[in-house]
């Protein structure tokens, strides 16, 4: 069964900390995505990547960066965590073609205190 694995289900971090959220997929997918999900705002795209070492800004990239050194791994980095980054973070992947569906991970619930 194909999988997208997010390393942590729950994280609690302090304001100002540098936070790494890790996502690994075993499907040899070219595309990977990071979303955040907040009540009333739905899912919003933070960053995405079409290939190793490539990244594109999504709709809300401010305060975040990403890294994709290997095809299977896409990391989301909060350079200096703030309380307004408390959210559910969801990673997804898909094949290169636009006809393909997305596969999501189980999510990371991040709380910044």
Partner 1 sequence: KQEVTQIPAALSVPEGENLVLNCSFTDSAIYNLQWFRQDPGKGLTSLLLIQSSQREQTSGRLNASLDKSSGRSTLYIAASQPGDSATYLCAVRTGNTGKLIFGQGTTLQVKP
Residue 111 found at the interface with partner 1 (CB under 8 A) = no
Residue 103 found at the interface with partner 1 (CB under 8 A) = yes
**Selected binder of partner 1 within 27, 60, 72, 102 (CB under 8 A):** 102
First to last CA, the chain: 36
Quickly list DSSP for 1-48.
Answer: ---EEES-SEEEE-TT--EEEEEEESS--SEEEEEEEETTTEEEEEEE
Shortest reach from residue 80's CB to partner 1, in Å: 26
Contacts with partner 1 by CB under 8 A lie at 6, 33, 42-43, 45, 48, 56, 58, 88, 90, 92, 98-107, 109
């Amino acid at each position: 069964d194909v999988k997208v694995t997010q390393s942590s289900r729950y994280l609690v971090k302090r304001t100002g900390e540098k936070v790494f959220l890790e996502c690994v997929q075993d499907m040899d997918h070219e595309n990977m995505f990071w979303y955040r999900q907040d009540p009333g705002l739905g899912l919003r795209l933070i960053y995405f990547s079409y290939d190793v070492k490539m990244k594109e800004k999504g709709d809300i990239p401010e305060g975040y960066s990403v890294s994709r050194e290997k095809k299977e791994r896409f990391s989301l980095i909060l350079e200096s965590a703030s309380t307004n980054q408390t959210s559910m973070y969801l990673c997804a992947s898909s094949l290169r073609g636009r006809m393909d569906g997305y596969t999501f991970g189980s999510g990371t619930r991040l709380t910044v205190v």
